[in-house]
Amino acid sequence: MVWLTWRQHRVELVSALVLLTVVAVPLVVTGLALHAEYRSSGAAACVAGGGGTCAGLVTEFVQRHLEWGNRFVWVAFLPALAGVFVGAPLFAREFETGTWRLAVTQTVTRTRWLTVKIALVGAGVAGVAALCSVLFTWWRAPLDEIGGRLRTAAFVVATPSLVSVTLFAFALGVLAGTLLRRTIPAMAVTLVTYLTVRITTEESLRPRYRTPLTRITDPATATDAGRLPATDWTVASGWVDRAGHRLTDGEEADLLHRIYGGSGTAPEDVVENYLAAHGMRHYTEYHPGGDFWTFQAIESAVFLGAAAVLMAATVWLVRRRIT
């Protein structure tokens, strides 16, 4: 059964490894240059020790590389490939071609046929995802030391997140293929469902994994010119009045209109004096950078749990439908 599964899916595995190699070569070359520049430019020393002259060095380094670093957000779509091209056809193709009949009429039991195919192919998918994660995380390391890892581009490439989401997408594809018994419709359903779940998680669920902390600052407080870029993740910000009431979007727009009038501009000291005179303070809701592994554990548990439920549903459906 193991040999048969390998024969059926070796093309997908080899294709994934070839694709990984093609991606790895330029990433290793540019990553080595990125890490070397991080040390030689003095940015690494600034992040480690700080200092009044550090802000400019770190800012210049980030500006040179942040555009490419932020493109790693597209890694969030890699698990969709596992779900669409590996998970969806896993059983849908068997039902379409009728080869499932050959499998269940041999000495191999239905349960073993199911578990071996799911376990071996799922392990291969998870292994490729883990290798991708190691590569992407290593490349981004200097940028993550500066800006933290809670933001999307850094968060999605971490090993727990990428592996668990990939397994979820794979399980989703397997269930879709089992339900629909047609490869192309199953691939389409997998893609749409995965993107819906992924976007909802990114935009609505992840900021609420823990209650954010709140920072209140006076508008007249000067910003430390030598402060390094914060590793905290800001999820909301705005203004509060003397009573602690948070201004709505409409109230903030009205406040800005009163400050700037029709000109749209005003000296900074005028703005600060107006806000201070009216008791206005700025609030920021944020998650500290130290919450990274907690957030990873929460999200990974959610997606692994969902993957387990989907796999269990697949086993139940296949055992029930095969007669």
**pLDDT 10s digits, 137-181:** 999 999 998 888 998 888 999 999 999 999 999 999 999 999 998
Contact 38, 44 (CB under 8 A): yes
Q: Which of 205-209, 220-224, 231-235, 238-242 comes out lowest in average pLDDT? A: 220-224
Lookup: tokens for 25: 């070569």
Confidence band of 224 (pLDDT split at 50, 70, 90): very low
How deeply is 284 buried, as exposed, middle or buried, from its count of CB atoms within 10 A (0-12, 13-18, 19+)?
Answer: middle
Residue, of 35 and 269, whose pLDDT is higher: 35
Name the percent of the chain lying above pLDDT 90: 37
Q: Is the pLDDT of residue 225 over 60?
A: no
Give the rounded percent of residues in the chain with a pLDDT score beyond 70.
82
**Residues constituting the chain:** 323
Residue 27 has pLDDT above 70, yes or no: yes
Condensed to tens digits (0 to 9), the pLDDT of residues 125-140 reads 999 999 999 999 999 9
**Cβ contact 135:29 at 8 Å:** no
pLDDT digits (tens, 9 = 90+) for 204-215: 999 999 999 988
- The answer on pLDDT for 216 being more than 50 is yes
* Secondary structure class of 217 (helix, strand, coil): strand
Question: Cα(96)–Cα(2) distance, rounded to whole angstroms?
Answer: 22
Q: Compute the distance between CA of residue 13 and CA of residue 6 in angstroms, rounded to an integer.
A: 9
User: Is 97 exposed, middle or buried (CB count within 10 Å of its CB: 0-12, 13-18, 19+)?
Assistant: exposed
Between 228 and 253, whose confidence is greater?
253
Provide the 3-class DSSP secondary structure of residue 151.
coil
Rounded mean pLDDT, 78-93: 90
In this prediction, residue 130 carries a pLDDT of: 94
If one counts every other C-beta atom within 10 angstroms of the C-beta of residue 145, the result is: 17
Residue 283 parent element (H or E): strand 281-287
Q: Of 284, 266, 264, 265, which Cα lies nearest the Cα of 218?
A: 284
Alpha-carbon distance 142 to 137, whole Å? 10
* 208: number of Cβ within 10 Å: 9
pTM across the whole model: 0.84
Question: What are the tokens at 179?
Answer: 């339900």
Mean pLDDT of the chain: 83
* Mutual angle of helices 159-180 and 292-321, in 10-degree steps: 20
Burial of 78 (0-12, 13-18, 19+ CB in 10 A): buried
Unique residue bearing structure tokens 């592996």: 163
Dump pLDDT digits (tens) for 288-306.
Answer: 999 999 999 999 999 999 9
pLDDT at position 69 over 90:
no
CB-based contacts of 17, cutoff 8 Å, min separation 6: 128
Q: How confident is the model at residue 1 (pLDDT cuts 50, 70, 90)?
A: low
pLDDT of 9 reads: 60
